């Protein structure tokens, strides 16, 4: 059984916060959706019968205004086709979200409205990866 990663560990979040907050960042997101969204008991979306993809779309709809308000934008999006190098793992979707700085990301994830919206992401995702990068210049060769 492979370990699922839905939310950051406290250690990973602390390491993120310890990095510079005043520089642009790109966040690589890899997503594997649940067949059926799994909401906590008593949540208002329980019983809607959504797939993971539908619950993630709701997360996008409800978190999008906050994402845009902090200056975030999606700079690349793609649908998984094949794992060439790495563990034999399939992903449904991937995208890179750009933020003007890490502080903007932290502002988003600590916003009370975002905290309400992220329940949809947690219900939607079976496994995920969220990886911070410092953006470089596009173009050129591999090196």
pTM: 0.91
| DSSP SS3 for 58 | helix
Span 120-127, mean pLDDT? 96
Residue 32 DSSP label: E
Residue 86 pLDDT class (50, 70, 90 cuts): confident
Asked if residue 2 has pLDDT above 70, the reply is no
Nearest to 133 by CA among 6, 19, 8, 1: 19
pLDDT at 138: 87
pLDDT at 11: 96
Q: Which domains does the chain have, with CATH numbers?
A: 22-133 (3.30.70.100)
Higher pLDDT, 40 or 134: 134
Digit-coded pLDDT (tens) for 3-59: 789 999 999 999 999 999 999 999 999 999 999 999 988 888 776 899 999 999 999
**Helical ranges in the chain per DSSP H:** 10-18, 52-69, 102-110, 112-124
Asked if residue 1 has pLDDT above 70, the reply is no
User: Rounded CA gap, 115 and 136, in Å?
Assistant: 30
Percent of the chain with pLDDT over 90: 80
pLDDT at 140: 87
Give Cβ neighbours of residue 98 (< 8 Å, ≥ 6 apart). 24, 25, 26, 27, 72, 73, 74, 75, 135
125-133 and 93-99: which strand pairing?
A: unpaired
């Amino acid at each position: 059984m492979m370990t699922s990663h839905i939310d950051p560990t406290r250690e990973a979040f602390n390491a993120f916060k310890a990095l510079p907050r005043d520089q642009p960042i790109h966040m690589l997101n890899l997503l594997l959706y649940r067949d059926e969204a799994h909401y906590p008991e008593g949540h208002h979306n329980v019983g809607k019968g959504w797939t993971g993809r539908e619950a993630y779309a709701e997360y996008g709809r409800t978190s999008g205004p906050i994402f845009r308000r902090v200056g975030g934008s999606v700079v690349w999006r793609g649908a998984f086709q094949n794992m060439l190098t790495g563990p034999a793992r399939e992903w449904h979707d991937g995208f890179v979200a750009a933020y003007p700085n890490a502080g903007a990301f932290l502002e988003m994830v600590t916003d009370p409205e975002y905290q309400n919206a992220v329940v949809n992401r947690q219900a939607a995702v079976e496994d995920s990866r969220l990886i911070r990068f410092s953006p470089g210049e596009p173009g050129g060769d591999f090196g």
